[in-house]
Amino acid sequence: MTIESMFDKNPKRIFADRVQAAEMLNQKLVQYHDRENVIVLGIPRGGVVLADELASQLNAEMDIMLTRKIGAPHNPELAVGAVTEDGKLYLDDSIVTALGLSHSYIDREKKRQLEQIHQRKDRYRAVLSKRSLRDKQVILTDDGVATGSTMQAAIWAVIAEFPRQVILAVPVASDDALKQLARDVDEVVCLSAPAQFGAISQFYRDFEQVDDQQVIKLLQKHTKIKAHD
């Protein structure tokens, strides 16, 4: 399958809100309905809304991906690596070498990003414990992808946990970012990938900020589902 056939380049698609976007993504993920070992990961905060809806529709597990990118000096949107909630560091050695990044810079950025992760981890993991990704079919989602750096960091973190398959599923993404991300995943599902891309919010009529309380409420819902199972 060519990269171009993986997604729709319709530049005019506008979603009512994150829930509708997830419902439309669900229609492209029917092959994962009611399958064992499928888990949907959302990137906080907006991506958790989509992950909740997708997991409910697919009858799958749901979790969050707490990771932060290590950005390049003077170009923080360029991901040179990622740090995960358990403190593991993953680097793109080719970029690190090309930029001549020092160990002290990497260590300093790792510490700074871990501080951000721990602020959310303390709140979120008190509600929903981390799920194992080993041998799982992982569907990774967010409400959109602009530069791709945050999603790239998340993909690296997922791959490091030895899943069986990684599926990137997003409502909208920039054409360039999606082509880059497609190299590291097994499948891409994207509803709109316009060549001209501004802010993610322009593709939603309702793009209200998602706060921690909303995320916690969604995590509590899936904690109850897991307990019931």
pLDDT-derived band of residue 149, with 50, 70 and 90 as boundaries? Answer: confident
Q: What is the pLDDT of residues 86-109, one digit of tens each?
A: 888 888 888 899 999 999 999 999
Q: What is the mean pLDDT of residues 148-162?
A: 90
User: For residue 12, what pLDDT is reported?
Assistant: 61
Could you tell me the residue ranges of all domains in the chain?
A: 3-66+131-228, 69-123
Burial 34-68 (b: 16+ CB within 10 A, else e): eeeebbbbbbbbbbbbbbbbbbbbbebbbbbbbbb
Written as one string, the DSSP assignment of 3-60 is GGGGB---TT--BSSHHHHHHHHHTT-GGGTT-TTEEEEE-TTHHHHHHHHHHHHHT-
> How far is it, in rounded angstroms, from Cα 13 to Cα 192?
7
User: For residue 51, what pLDDT is reported?
Assistant: 98
Q: What is the pLDDT of residues 175-216, one digit of tens each?
A: 888 998 999 999 999 999 987 888 899 999 999 999 999 999
Q: Could you report how far apart the first and last alpha carbons of the chain are, in Å?
A: 37
> How far is it, in rounded angstroms, from Cα 140 to Cα 196?
24
Among the four given CATH numbers 1.10.10.10, 3.30.1490.100, 3.75.10.10, 3.30.1310.20, the one describing domain 69-123: 3.30.1310.20
Topology (CATH level 3) of domain 3-66+131-228? Rossmann fold (3.40.50)
How far are the Cα atoms of 79, 127, 140, 169, 190 from residue 151, in angstroms, in the given order? Answer: 10, 24, 9, 11, 13
